[in-house]
Structure 1
Amino acid sequence: MPAVQSWPRLARARIVVSSLLFLTAFGAAASPSVNPALRSAAQRDLGLSPTQLDRWLQLEREAPQRAALAQRLLGAHYAGSWIERGDDGAVRLIVASSDPRAAKLGPGVELRQVRYSLAELEAAKARLDAGARLRLPGITRPIDGLYAWHVDQASNSVVVRMAPQALDRAIDFAAYSGADSGVLRLERMDVAPQATSQVYTGVAYQKNGAPSCSVGFAVRQGATKGFVTAGHCGVAGESIWMDGAPIGHIVASEFPVADRAWVAIGDQHEVLPLVTNYAGGFYFVRGSYESYHTSVVCRSGYKTGYQCGFVNAKNVTVNVGGNGPVYGLTQTTACAGFGDSGGGWIDVGEQAQGVTSASNIPAGSPHNCGMFGAMTWFQPVNPILEQYGLTLVTL
């Protein structure tokens, strides 16, 4: 393999320019306001010191531009980027490259050499998705026991989470899909994802008078008021109740494939850009700018209240409750319980992120809070707004 020193002079010059770009473009970053209560909740749930959280939030602000620049510089060899806390406690931005000759990308960025490019990982994940849309001959549900799969940039693999007894099925499914087996990493998952069905953001609502789910975010479609929630919480036409009285109905719903729905409510009801923290306080909804991979996010739902975690994967395919795959979910380390479905997620800048879809809740338990390896997935909110022509109600 040629050494860096053997590269043409022009290439070496580009490396110098690249480093300067990282140095000058990100020498300072604007500091958006962070809600103090959200900050406190994040520290509580994520185990970060004040200094570590400050650094993490700084990198969240810088990461999208840094990652975009790294992708332009590395080209086809770009293998992803993320924020992580090292064994020494330091919080760093990592950029991965499949090119062993890649040079450093400038101060504050750790370059990590990996085998596969991000394009190769995403191609393998797309093959699994395509395979899930089909059915093996003679088998009704070839993905039973296969719970979720996603591109995991930090491990440079496509992680497939499966039931303990589903190894053979996972291997067969991967082979059937045509995905490169070398890219896949099979991980045991003892608890299956379950739809958390059991309505302002986070407050409970009922379907046809019976306990159901949690409100996502207040929206409008023209003059019509309403809110978004999870698709598995009900089908179009069903009556939605709150505080013992009907307030509206489900206009549209999709589940599986996606997990999204929106509810129209009567004009006499007010819709507010608020998120309840179940401790007597509220946060505002200020927009829906999508947070970065490894960002801090928090969710509100009537069953387990207000919980925070990290985004550790995007565009995850999850086999929710054995009903078939839901595509494009975001995976987090926050916990949830039955009844939290549909509840809204925000980041520490009070930007709406999504609505709760599923969580790996153990059999016989009402939630997975306190469980090692707790995971909860949410349906990103912007695709819901786009799909149904909705406008988010914001401050």
Structure 2
Amino acid sequence: MDRRVHKLAAATLSASVVIALTTTSSATASDDVDVAELATPEMLAAAERDLDLSRQEAIEVFASDLQAMHTQERLEKTLDESEVGAWIDDGELVVAVSDRRAAADVRRAGATPRLVEHSTDELSDVVSTLDDAEAPDASEVYSWYVDVPANTVVVEAAEGAHDAATEWLAETGVDADLVEVETTETVPEPFYDVVGGTAYDVPGSGCSVGFAVQPRGFVTAGHCGNVGTPTTGYNGASQGVFERSVFPGSDGAYVSVNQNWSVTSQVSRWNGTYAQVNGSDVAPIGATTCRSGRTSGYRCGQIEAYNQTVNYSQGPVRGLTRTSACARPGDSGGSFIAAGINAQGVTSGGSGFCGSGGRPQTYFQPVNPMLNAWNLTLVTQ
């Protein structure tokens, strides 16, 4: 294996890429397992793409990482508290120990020992103290962790916030000699999924996601917001903004989402499972269709009529599809699917709400006209 592949091995191990494999090494197979046979095409393709490897180099990286993992597991059973962490450096497993007597065990196992000053317990106690302390300003202090190769605790802070981070550390009472403050331009933010049928809010109201689309965003009902209206997600996090919106006349809209949101092909069934959208073929009259929304969850009925004009108080909306699925306020904009995989449209309005005892009628704005008019692409499985 060349030197470049050895260096990349550390990245794959830290990212836990090797979850589907069992055991072997780049030079010597262990337990007669062939990594080339066990590595899925998807795993190898991802390694080739993201780590700039050939197929053979990807196999060798996985093999090297697996050997390191098994060596580390064996050493953890024998070194006890003397081991303070392990990492891959230039293709070799390095094990930090705070006890000189453990170095021989590390060498016998085929790894490289490195004597360090601070034990795992010391460094972990610092992190625990920071975890238990009053959280610092998130715009100043981003994170803290044990840097195993450096044998220290690192606190990551915003540029210009080094002093603020130092002051916070002093308030926590941790040993300053065990901590390094590093500044970074990268601000960590959580990621969320755009899932059909789930809630989103606009100022003063709330609706449901229709279907995820590219460019990154989702389609929903036009009456949910005007162009420029901001949205927040089901979790209260800033989500996106209405880029397109038509109502009345039609009842469709496109919301672009920010970088914290990932688009998916999923539509929630509100029971812990998800339908996977695989297209947008139009179902015939009489076909079963199911809708998903924040208020009444996942409800099904039949398609009863196409191209219906509904004269809402705000003005007539043309081209809607009538169904016998029930809905309630807040479900607006949510997903209608047919045959379990085909996107049909987004909820517009209706009558005979779920639980009201009346005959339900719910209308949806067909999805294909929105996709075509705004040059959007449905996210599919």
TM-score normalized by structure 1?
Answer: 0.46
Q: Which has the larger radius of gyration?
A: 2
TM-score normalized by structure 2?
Answer: 0.48
